[in-house]
Structures are given as structure tokens and as C-alpha cells.
Structure 1
Amino acid sequence: METLANLESFVRSAELGGFSGAARKLGLTPAAVSRNVAMLERNLGVRLFHRSTRKLTLTEEGERFLSAIRDNLEGLQSAIAGMAGEGGAPAGLLKVSLSPTFGMDHILPLVPAFLEAYPAVRLDWQFDNRQVDLVAEGFDAAIGGGFELSAGIISRPIAPVHIIAVASPAYLKDRSLPVAPSGLANLDGIVMRATRTGRIRHWTMRNASGEEMSAMPRETIVLNDPSAMCRAALLGLGVTLIAVPDVLAHLESGALVRLAPKWYADAGPISIYFGSRTLLPAKTRVFVDFVAEHFKRHRLAERFAGSLG
């Protein structure tokens, strides 16, 4: 009788084209995955993979075996995940990718309550502005915006990403506050250079009537991180165009002031990304629901909406 670990190592290695990718997905070492596959081959008496230093490819027998067991394996995993969720507490390592500013300001503070509710879950969180590959890098979930949805990945929107113009009261002293984006051209800008393209990010803002207008402050300071842009604005260095969640606390305290308050740019939603619901481990399912419920209960989607003025 083959173990689930051997079968899963084989299927994930075939899907991801190598032992390293399967190891990241399964939370094992490449050597352990290789051993599991070798044991499966030994027990079956057939070679399932052609191995080379460059890649791993299925043999003809491997292709047939994969077709025969893939759906059955997923059924077993689904049944195990379901039993874990119903009969036992969610447990295990929860690997999550989060954008630094949003993650630290709005998700990390949820950890004490989450771990109190699910003490058997351990956290491995990475704060990074890049888009990760959930499957290849072995993440259970990611929180951010603009992810490309590959096969088997689901997104659950939790709030909008609305871009607004802000500056400190000290910077605005003795200056006229613009009521429309065109007025930003007269102010010093703290602008964003996109990491992937290397270009300065420009925004087109809109209002409730559907009018659109370019927002282009002077490119006085160029930065590549939202938290640095927020800090520069707090230091009175100019006006910056930034997502509401990144500056909400400073707006509520009065440390920053919103300019052109009826105008905003829509950068899409903030979403939680995770694997197929049919194979979702209990630890991931409760995390996704916990975050979504927190945002709903505290009406964060409304508080993040720059369209509300």
C-alpha cells in the first residue's frame, strides 16, 4: 500500500517539472521528495521519470500512472482537509506573502486574536512588494493587489485600492489647497518609481461624476516604496499620491491632509489569493475567513474608499 506522501511527491513533481518546485509546495526538502519518488518507483517496479541535470520529464509509464491517480489523489486530499476542519483544530505552518506597508499596518495586528483562536497554527510570513508564485514558492496565501491568476488560484477581494493626494499641514502652510488634480502641478511631488518597469508612475484621477483628470505634481523626490513616500510626506517634503490604507491613520490623526478631496484613482482591489477551494487546508481556510470577517466587521472597505471623499 503506497503512502500518500509518495503519491503526492510524484504528482507535484510531475506538475511542477522538478523536485525543487514540489518541495516548496509540500514544505519538504528536494532530497525528501526525490526519496519519496524513488521509493514509489521501487515499489511499482517501473521508472516514472527521465532524470537529467536540467529537467525532469515523465516516462510513458509515468504519464499513464499520473492520469490514473491524479483525480483520486485530489479526492483523498480533499477528504483529509475536510476531516481536519471538522474533526480537529486547524494546524501546521501557514506561509503567507504580504506587501510590507499594508501587511504590517492592517494584517499583522490581527495575529494575536488569530493565534488565540487557532493556537496549533504556526506562521511563516514574508513582507515583500513583489508578486509571488503561490504554487512554485509554496505559499498558502498572499494578500495584495494586481496578481495574475494562474490555474487553480482564487482571489477574494476584501477592499478597494484607491489612490489619493496627501500632504502635511506644515507643507501646505501658506499654500492654496488644490480642489482638482490639475492644481497638483504647482506642488512638489513625492512620486513613485515602479520597481518592475523603472518608470515614474502617473495616475489619472476621477470624481463621482465620472470626469477624469491627470494628476502630475512636480517630480521633486522619486522613491520606490509606499512607506517611504508616506514618511516623506509626513516630513513636509511635498505631496504624494498613495493608497488610502497606507495613510489612513495619518489622515484620521490630522498628520496628513487630503488634497483634491473629491478625486481619486482606482488601482483595483486588495485581495486574498489562495489555492483551489476543493483542496484548501483548514489552516488556510480559517485564515482567509478570519481576515475577510475582520474587514467586513470593521467596514474597512468603506474606510479605504477614496471615492467617498
Structure 2
Amino acid sequence: MQPLSHLESFVRSAETGSFSAAARQLGLTPAAVSKNVARLEKSLGLRLFQRSTRKLALTEGGERLLGQISGALGTLADAMAGAAGTDGQPAGTLKVSMGQAFGREYLVPLLGEFLALYPAVLPDWHFDNRQVDLIGEGFDAAIGGGIELTPGLVARELARIHVVAIAGPNYMAGKAMPSHPSALVAFDSIVRRSSPTGRIRPWTLRNTAGDEVAVEARPRLIFSDPEAMCRAAIMGLGVALVPMPFALPGLQSGALLRLLPGWYDDAGPLSLYYPSKRLLPAKTRVFVDFVVERFRAGGFAQRVHGAGAPPG
């Protein structure tokens, strides 16, 4: 029978496409993972990977072996992790990726309750404004929008992300409130540059009647961060189009005004992503259920829906 470490090194290398990524997941060095796979190949008398300087590619025999053992190995590893919990309770390090501003505003406030419920779980949260490779980088979960749902991932939608027009009361003082998106061209605009593409993001606002209008902007500031856009709007530097989760605190406090109520752009879903396994580690399962339930109970999806009335 093959040692579990050899089989696990093989499966993780096949899933991630490299010994280095597998090593990060397993807490080993790339050399150790490579050696484990080489020993497995020697004992089987079978080459499992075609190796190159850029990536690993499974051979036909490697594909066949992966299909036969990956599910069973994952179930065994998860069962062992669950059995290692404290008195059967969820335990272990919980590695989660989330956006900086979103995580601070909406996830950190939930930590006290989560830790009280699951004291043996150690949150290891990464506040990154980037898309991560959950499997390749060894994350248990990630929260964000626009993450590609690749094979092996599951997404639980938390809300639709709507983009709305906002401004500070001091900027709008003495100005007529716009009644149509076409009127936004008369105001100084705080526009957003897309980090992935480097381009200025265009917006098309829509309403519940089905009307759609391309927004023309008169740029005064260009930022790549929606939280910074909100702060600039609060300072009275112009009108901004930002996702509702970033605008909501200022709208609720009165530091920001919602322009064009009922007009919004749909930027897609905000979701909680995690690896698809028949038997999730208990720490991941309870985290997913906890976040989904708290966001639902707090009416998060309704609060960030751009078609509704401005939050008070």
C-alpha cells in the first residue's frame, strides 16, 4: 500500500499543476513533494507526469490514477481532519480571502460571534483586493465578485452587486439634483480605473422599467479603489458611481447622498466560494453556513439592492 503522503503529493500536484503550489497546500517544500511523487512513480513502475519548466501535465496513466483515488483521498483526509477536532467540534486554521474594505466593514464585525461559537477555529484571513486561486493557494474559502467558477469550486451567492451614483451633501449644496442619468455629465466625476485592465470603467444605469442609459462622465479624479472614491465624495470632490456595499455606510450616516434613486448598474453577484468536496472540513462548512445565515438575517441583499429607496 502506498504511503498517504505520496498519494496526497500526487493528487495536490495534479490539481494545482505544480509541485510548488502543492507544497504550499501541504506545508512541505517543493523538493519534498517532487520526491514523494517520484517515489510513487517508482513503486508503481509508471510515469504520472510529463514535466516541463512551466507546468506539469498528467500522463494517461496519471489521469487514470487521479480519477481512481482523488475522491477517496479527499474524503479520508477530511474525515481525519474532522476527527482531530476538539471534542468533535470544528477546529483548525481557516484560511479565507476577502477584499480589504469589504472585509473590514462586513466580515470583521461577525468575528466575535463566530469565535464564541467555534473557539477551536483559528481565522487566518487575507485582506487582498485580488482574485486568488483557492485550490492552488490553499484557501478554504473566498468572498468576492467576478471570481471564475472553475471546476472544483462552489459559489454561494450573498447578493447582487449594484452600482449607484453618490455625492456628498456639501458638493450638492446649491445644485439641482439630477433627475436622469444624462444629467450626470454636468457634475465633476470621480471615476474608477479597473485594476485588471487599467481602463476607465464605463457604466450603464438602468431602472425597473427597463430603461438603460450610458453614463457620460466629466472626470475630475481617477481612482482604482471604490472605498477611496467614497471618501473623496464625502469630502465634496464630485459625484461617484460605486458598488452599494461601499456606499452603504455613508448613505446610512448621512455623509453621502444617493443620486438618481431607482437607477443602478448590475455588476454581478457577490459570492462565497469554496472547494467542492463531498465531505467539507467542519471548519469550512460552519464558516460557510454562518456567513450565509448572518448575511441573510441582516437583509444584506436587500440593503445593497440599487432599485430600492436610499437606505436611511
Tell me the residue number matched to 1:307: 307
Q: In terms of mean alpha carbon deviation, does 31-40 or 185-194 score higher?
A: 31-40
Counterparts of 2:287 and 2:280, CA distance in 1 = 11
Tell me the residue number matched to 1:200: 200
Tell me the residue number matched to 1:18: 18
Q: CA RMSD in A?
A: 2.5
Superposed counterparts of 1:220-235, under 5 Å? 220-235=220-235
Counterparts of 1:65 and 1:121, CA distance in 2 = 34
Q: Secondary structure at the match of 1:135?
A: helix
Q: CA deviation at 1:203?
A: 0.8
Q: CA deviation at 1:6?
A: 2.5
Counterparts of 2:135 and 2:260, CA distance in 1 = 42
Q: CA deviation at 1:187?
A: 0.4
CA contact (8 A) 1:84 1:282 kept: no
Deviations 1:14-72 (A, max 9, x none): 33332112123334432442344355456657665565655545567655544543343
Q: CA deviation at 1:252?
A: 0.9
What amino acid sits opposite 1:18 in the alignment? S
Counterparts of 1:100 and 1:106, CA distance in 2 = 10
Counterparts of 2:115 and 2:238, CA distance in 1 = 40
Superposed counterparts of 1:1-309, under 5 Å? 1-41=1-41, 48-49=48-49, 54-57=54-57, 62=62, 65-77=65-77, 79-80=79-80, 88-309=88-309
Go from structure 1 to structure 2 and tell me whether the alpha carbon gap of 1:266 and 1:64 turns closer, same or farther (over 3 Å shift).
closer
- Tell me the TM-score normalised to structure 1 length: 0.90
Q: Secondary structure at the match of 2:137?
A: coil
CA contact (8 A) 1:78 1:279 kept: yes
Counterparts of 1:78 and 1:122, CA distance in 2 = 17
What amino acid sits opposite 1:286 in the alignment? V
Deviations 1:236-269 (A, max 9, x none): 1001001111021111111000001121111111
CA contact (8 A) 2:191 2:223 kept: yes
CA contact (8 A) 1:81 1:279 kept: no
Q: Secondary structure at the match of 1:283?
A: helix
**Structure 2 runs not aligned, ≥5 long:** none
CA contact (8 A) 2:82 2:88 kept: no
CA contact (8 A) 1:144 1:272 kept: yes
Q: In terms of mean alpha carbon deviation, does 121-130 or 156-165 score higher?
A: 121-130
What amino acid sits opposite 1:207 in the alignment? N
CA contact (8 A) 2:165 2:240 kept: yes
Go from structure 1 to structure 2 and tell me whether the alpha carbon gap of 1:47 and 1:164 turns closer, same or farther (over 3 Å shift).
closer
Deviations 1:115-170 (A, max 9, x none): 22112222222222221111112111111111111111111101120111111110
**Structure 1 runs not aligned, ≥5 long:** none
Q: Secondary structure at the match of 1:278?
A: coil
Counterparts of 1:233 and 1:282, CA distance in 2 = 43
Go from structure 1 to structure 2 and tell me whether the alpha carbon gap of 1:178 and 1:63 turns closer, same or farther (over 3 Å shift).
closer
What amino acid sits opposite 1:167 in the alignment? A
What amino acid sits opposite 1:124 in the alignment? D
CA contact (8 A) 1:179 1:261 kept: no
Counterparts of 1:262 and 1:104, CA distance in 2 = 28
Q: Secondary structure at the match of 2:291?
A: helix
- Tell me the TM-score normalised to structure 2 length: 0.89
Go from structure 1 to structure 2 and tell me whether the alpha carbon gap of 1:41 and 1:287 turns closer, same or farther (over 3 Å shift).
same
